Structure 1
Amino acid sequence: MAETTDIKLATRLNKINLNLLLVFHTLYRKRSLTLTAESLCLSQPAVSHSLKKLRLLMGDPLFIKGVDGMQPTPLARRMDSAVAKGLFYFDQAVHSNSEFSPATSKREFRVSLADYVSQQLQPKLIQHCLEHAPGLCFNLLSTRIASAEGAQQVLQAHDIDLAVVQLETLPLTSHHEYLFDDAIGCVGDAILHGESSHIPLETFLDTPQVALSHREDSPSLINERLQKLGLERRIVAKTSYINPLQEILASTNLLCVVTESAARVICRNNTLKFYSLPLDVPAFKVCLCWDERKDHDSGIHWLRKLVRELIAPAPSSGS
């Protein structure tokens, strides 16, 4: 039975080589014969010839020229996912066991970091690699991953090698690695809110706030806790950007709920202070997550180890 299956598979695929699939995969993304040829270092006639062969093999035009470039047919759209996965797994099978040498590698890693994590980790990462891995390049992104359940879809859709994320609960998959707990509190100007380590509930509810969230939806964790108590806070602005908060919060009575790691960035060289909340809010779990398809990638293993060594957990609130 297995031999019969192998014969049938060979008969179906013997006219399709890897180069044809690469042309299909690239053309699907570039939507241009010229750009496809440039990307694959081929001539445009060679790409056109490959497309002609694919059309004959599939009995379908696959791509039709339109005002926005070469548009895929319904069959091409159905093929794309399978072809992309096949090429990816083939590449992994060929290269997964190759030894990664940071000192000589010219690889580019795509790494997703939350805004405040990037400010802490990025200088250390670049400095380390200038000294020990000078040929590497890091493409540092700010892709939002709000839950462990949706992490793989985001990682694969954006071709991300590794991400540092904050999650409400520890993931149950083997493609995440816990780093540390990041306590949730709020930042305000100590000149106005005092030197105490916490904010009273009445002050917290009455003081206007800027809501910081790196999620696609509105900040919900604190709001859910308040709603259960029949309470509500005053939100005057919502933002996903941490950098302007120093200027926004300094010399005003505004508060902003943040993690302790984010507060380390916001409270530098100013009068801002991190306060504990008057609510029982569990800490975020800061984790590494990576593309499950790259489990055997020695480069990813090296990068995970390096990030673990370089990233600093939030200081305890008593420090």
Structure 2
Amino acid sequence: MDFGHLDLNLLVVFDAMFRHRNVTVAGRELGLSQPAMSYALLKMRAAFDDPLFVRVKSGMQPTPRALGMVDTVRDVLQRIQSGLLSPAMFDPASSNREFRIATSDVGESFFAPPLMRALRSHGRHLQLRVFSLTPSALEQQLESGDVDLAVGYYPDLVGADFYQQGLFTSHFVAIAAKDNRHVKGKLTMTRFLQAPHVDVATPGRSQEIILRHMVEKKIVRNVPLQVSRFLSLLEIVSQSDLIAIVPRETGELFRNARGVAVHALPFDSPTFRLRQHWHKRFHDDAAVRWLRALVHELFQDLDSPANQQPLPK
């Protein structure tokens, strides 16, 4: 028999007939009428060149050919059900999956520790890899599956190819050494403009927001130093009279570290929404879907009043 011409629905009819040995009962289970069941039996007999089920006093009994087929038929049906028809499942407790997320350099310090703790609490063999990528490289990595999620501020990841989910809203603060002579306990606009600043130029896009905002407000600063990483600010600010503008989460990381203080800006700060992004190819991937739910659970309420600690005065 040519396998390409086999109607796999006949295997379902075969299994029901083998279990019930009754055409009417088997048809009722499958939702098929008596004529439809009779037609299916004719097709089965022609396909396998055997009667398969013969009517006797006790009902429809299987032929030797049917008895020899039953285990194989049930194995095929079970494999189709579990491998094709059942939704894919992910069990973190038994998985050694390596999850890969992209975020900014400071995002590594903010997102990775709580995420890794949560992963380890669900499965001791789960792994995490964190990357910092340019926007163009990030799109390619998400599409290929080399990166599972991008977490942070990524305004370029839009369009039909990408999904996104909001996590929390952030704004900007200033950091300075506690003994910074320009701040003197409170950062006023005059002191802000007089103080020397250090800026960060990274592939991340959040700093563009505050820079554009200050241009619109005609706020001109003295910026003698520019660096490429947020994390270098901790050493620079703590050992100089420079101040820096950073996202609030960065300020929280640096709060009280090595003599660094966090201050509200002397003008209204713009806000921006941090999100998790993923490619449509992996929208229904069970492991990535589980990871997205975990990230959302960990970070979704960080902008609520209950989770916003006041800045020190």
What's the TM-score bracket when you normalise by the shorter of the two chains? 0.5 to 0.7
**Distance change in 2, residues 1:298/1:95 (3 Å):** farther
Change (3 A) 1:224 1:121: closer
- Structure 1: distance between partners of 2:225 and 2:260: 19
Give the share of equivalent positions with the same residue, in percent: 24
Distance change >3 Å, CA 165–CA 293, structure 1 → 2: same
Residue aligning to 2:128:
138
Deviations 1:242-298 (A, max 9, x none): 222111101421011101101111224332122122333311211111122111111
TM-score by length of 2: 0.61
Tell me which residue corresponds to 1:249: 237
Matched, 1:316 2:308: yes
Q: Residues of 2 paired with 1:163 and 1:217: CA distance?
A: 13
Q: Does 1:160 align with 2:152?
A: no
AA partner of residue 295 (structure 2): V
Hey, what's the Cα distance between the residues in 1 that align with 2:102 and 2:212? 27
Instruction: Provide the secondary structure at the position in 2 that maps to 1:211.
Output: strand
Match among 113, 120, 145 for residue 110 of structure 2: 120
* 8 A contact 2:97–2:127 mirrored in 1: yes
Q: With structure 1 as the length reference, what TM-score do the two structures score?
A: 0.60
Alpha carbons 2:153, 2:206 under 8 Å: kept: no
Count of matched residue positions in the alignment of Structure 1 and Structure 2: 222
Give the equivalent residue in structure 1 for 2:259: 271
Contact between 2:173 and 2:246, CA under 8 Å: does it hold in 1? yes
In structure 2, how many angstroms separate the alpha carbons of the residues matched to 1:132 and 1:96? 23
Query: Which of the pair has more CA radius of gyration?
Result: 2
Q: State the SS of the aligned residue for 1:222.
A: helix
Any idea what the Cα deviations from partners look like across 1:162-217, whole Å, max 9, x if unmatched? 11112579978771111111111211123222333xx2222222211111243368
In structure 2, C-alpha distance between the alignment counterparts of 1:317 and 1:232, rounded to whole Å = 29
Structure 1 stretches lacking a partner, 5+ long? 1-92
Match of 2:4 in 1: none
Instruction: Say yes or no: does 1:261 pair with 2:253.
Output: no
Q: CA RMSD in A?
A: 3.3
**Alpha-carbon spacing, 1:218–1:101, altered in 2? closer, same or farther (3 Å):** closer
User: In structure 2, the residue corresponding to 1:244 is in which secondary structure?
Assistant: helix
* C-alpha separation in 2, matches of 1:160 and 1:308: 17
In structure 2, stretches of 5+ residues that fail to align are 1-82
Residue 37 of structure 2 corresponds to none
Indicate how the Cα distance of structure 1 residues 253 and 295 shifts in structure 2: closer, same or farther if over 3 A, else same. Answer: same
